[in-house]
Structures are given as structure tokens and as C-alpha cells.
Amino acid sequence: MRSGDEMLAQIVEKSTVDAGFRQQLLADPKTAISGELGITIPDSMNIQIHESDMQTVHLALPPDPHITEEQMEAISAGLCCCW
């Protein structure tokens, strides 16, 4: 099983070389990510994609530090939405 960081890196990398994928990711992130990673993302999971530019930088804070690494990987993989 790939880690959440590995999956994120794959998505970011593809978005830098494939303009069509980047547009799909911005318009419909669940479909784009599901298709690229071959995973099912639960309907209950919300995914927001933010595109930084020279005037705006988006910072994503990590999940609550009380979540275990295993739980984070399961959430990142779309396997679990709660604990």
C-alpha cells in the first residue's frame, strides 16, 4: 500500500505535466484522483483543491496530531472517513 504522501506526490506531479488533468483536478477532484490512483473515494469525504499563485499561497495544516499514522494513511487512501 502506498502512503498518503506518495499518493499526494503522484497527483501533484501529474498536475504539473498534464494540463488536462490539472483542470479536471480543479473541477472534479474526486473523479480525477480516483481515476489516477485507482481508488474509490467515499461520498462522505470532501476534497478541496486550491491552486496557489504569486499573490496567494495556500497552507494545509495536518490532521489533528492525535490521529495515528495508520489512520491518516487510511483516510488519505479513501478507506476510512472516521475513527
- Sorted by where each begins, the domain ranges of the chain are 1-41+58-83
For residue 80, what pLDDT is reported? Answer: 57
The per-residue pLDDT for 11 is 96
pLDDT given at position 79: 61
Q: Could you say which DSSP state residue 3 is in?
A: -
pTM, full prediction: 0.68
CA gap 15, 69 in Å, rounded:
26
Helix (H, G, I), strand (E, B) or coil at 65: coil
User: Tell me, what's the pLDDT at 71?
Assistant: 72
Tell me the residue type at 34.
Answer: S
Give the model confidence (pLDDT) of 7-18 as tens digits: 999 999 999 999
Cα separation, 46 vs 66, whole angstroms: 20
